[in-house]
Amino acid sequence: MTFHTDLLTLFEEAAIVAGQEILRIYEEGCAVELKDDKSPVTAADHAAEAIILQALRGATPGIPIVAEEEIAGGHIPGDLGTRFYLVDPLDGTREFVSRNGDFTVNIALIENGVPLLGLVYAPVRGLLFTGSPERAQQVTIDRNGSVIERQAIACRSAPDVLVAVASRSHRTPETDAYLDQFAIADCVSVGSSLKFGLLARGEADIYPRLSRTMEWDTAAGDAVLRAAGGITLTLDGRPLTYGRRNQAHDADFANPHFVARGRL
């Protein structure tokens, strides 16, 4: 067992427990509040983040954590060093509120700006994606949080006519204009970081995001995609990096626009 293997196991255990709590709140219902940026937040976001942070800090207390709800609450880590976590405990809160099931738990390890390990868990769908330098996997989880099946996944080579994925809640005219450059057979609208999962398992080829995202929205899915043979690029063709701070024109940890691709 290596450090990264053990860490990915920790991610999985924490995400499944967090997912069980999210499902409990999802089924019982809860109030929705608005943060300062007008994005929604619920008790499920806070409960899931508390579970994940306790697990990560208990096992690896020396690794800094950038977590969405802590950042929103003003708890901003100092020097991140070369290795840190990015956590979005409930990516797709709008999908959670809409009750369409397209929300995920995201946990990633960043090393030297690269998303090296990532986990994306969609508790309603019972699907969990993991990515590491060794492999990308899709894991089927039952309603009790037990693993049913694991299978390796990989991006497909891009066909002449592409399948695109786009944000369900944040699609923009700029996204449509970008896709007009390509021969597109279909464009699937999906919420949260599940879009990266569709690319990673070879069901889609391109995901342009020409609207605002934060690093915790993308890091876990990006890690899965890279492990499966894909890549996420900024619009100038460079791999998307993580740990952006002191940006002149945007907040800490805000992503530039990007395009995620399967195998080219």
C-beta of residue 33 within 8 angstroms of C-beta of residue 215: no
Tokens 């006519």 map to which residue?
161
Residue 41 φ/ψ region, left for φ over 0, alpha for ψ in the -120 to 50 degree band, beta for the rest: beta
140 is in an annotated binding site: no
149 is in an annotated binding site: no
DSSP 255: P
Could you tell me the sign of the dihedral formed by the alpha carbons of 51, 57, 63, 69, in that order? positive
93 is in an annotated binding site: yes
The Cα 109–Cα 202 span in angstroms is 24
The Cα 230–Cα 214 span in angstroms is 20
82 is in an annotated binding site: no
90 is in an annotated binding site: yes
SS3 for 230? Answer: coil
Question: Which residue numbers belong to the known binding site?
Answer: 68, 88, 90-93, 217
Question: Which residue numbers belong to the known binding site for substrate?
Answer: 68, 90-93, 217
Question: Which residue numbers belong to the known binding site for Mg(2+)?
Answer: 68, 88, 90-91, 217
